[in-house]
Amino acid sequence: MYAWQVGQPGPDVERALSRVEMETPRPAAGELLVAVDACGVCRTDLHVASGELPVHRASVVPGHDVVGHVTEVGDGVSDFRPGDRVGVAWLRETDGTCRFCGRGRENLCPASRYTGWDADGGYAEFTTVRSDFAYALPDGYSDEELAPLLCAGIIGYRALRLADLPPGGRLGIYGFGASAHLTAQVAIAQGAEVHVLTRSARAQRLALDLGAASARDASP
Ligand SMILES: [Zn+2]
Ligand SMILES: [Zn+2]
Here the CATH number for the domain that contains residue 27 is 3.90.180.10
- pTM score, two decimals? 0.92
From the CA of 32, how far away is ligand 2's center (Å)? 22
Question: Which residue, 147, 144, 158, is CA-closest to 121?
Answer: 147
Range of the domain at 212: 154-216
From the CA of 203, how far away is ligand 1's center (Å)? 20
Whether 61 and 164 share a structural domain: no
Let me know if residue 147 belongs to a domain: no
CA 10 to chain centre: 23
Last residue of a domain, one of 97, 119, 141: 141
Question: Which residue, 168, 88, 163, 83, is CA-closest to 122?
Answer: 88
Residues 6+ apart with CB under 8 A from 47: 53
Last residue of a domain, one of 141, 166, 193: 141
Whether 90 and 166 share a structural domain: no
Residue-by-residue pLDDT tens, the chain, 220 positions: 999 999 999 999 889 999 999 999 999 999 999 999 999 999 999 999 999 999 999 999 999 999 999 999 999 999 999 999 999 999 999 999 999 999 988 989 999 999 999 999 999 999 999 999 999 999 999 999 999 999 999 999 999 999 999 989 999 999 999 999 999 999 999 999 999 999 999 999 999 999 999 999 987 6
Whether 25 and 107 share a structural domain: yes
Whether 135 and 174 share a structural domain: no
Ligand nearest to the CA of 110: 2
Ligand nearest to the CA of 114: 1
Residue 220: the pLDDT is 67
Whether 51 and 132 share a structural domain: yes
Measure the CA–CA gap between 148 and 75, rounded to whole angstroms: 30
Work out how many domains the chain is built from and give that number: 2
Residue 70: the pLDDT is 98
From the CA of 102, how far away is ligand 2's center (Å)? 7
Whether 130 and 29 share a structural domain: yes
Whether 131 and 94 share a structural domain: yes
Measure the CA–CA gap between 164 and 63, rounded to whole angstroms: 31
Measure the CA–CA gap between 107 and 120, rounded to whole angstroms: 19
Residue 219: the pLDDT is 75
From the CA of 91, how far away is ligand 2's center (Å)? 12
Let me know if residue 122 belongs to a domain: yes
Residue 107: the pLDDT is 87
From the CA of 121, how far away is ligand 2's center (Å)? 21
Measure the CA–CA gap between 207 and 214, rounded to whole angstroms: 8
Last residue of a domain, one of 141, 171, 197: 141
Let me know if residue 149 belongs to a domain: no
45 and 104 in contact (C-beta within 8 Å)? no
Whether 40 and 106 share a structural domain: yes
| 3-state per-residue secondary structure call for the chain | CEEEEECCCCCCHHHHEEEEECCCCCCCCCEEEEEEEEECCCHHHHHHHHCCCCCCCCCCCCCCCEEEEEEEECCCCCCCCCCCEEEECCEEECCCCCHHHHCCCHHHCCCCEEECCCECCCCECEEEEEHHHCEECCCCCCHHHHHHHHCHHHHHHHHHHHHCCCCCCEEEEECCCHHHHHHHHHHHHCCCEEEEECCCHHHHHHHHHCCCCEEECCCC
Let me know if residue 148 belongs to a domain: no
Let me know if residue 44 belongs to a domain: yes
From the CA of 51, how far away is ligand 2's center (Å)? 26
From the CA of 58, how far away is ligand 1's center (Å)? 19
Residue 218: the pLDDT is 80
Ligand nearest to the CA of 111: 2
From the CA of 110, how far away is ligand 2's center (Å)? 6
CA 159 to chain centre: 14
Whether 106 and 185 share a structural domain: no
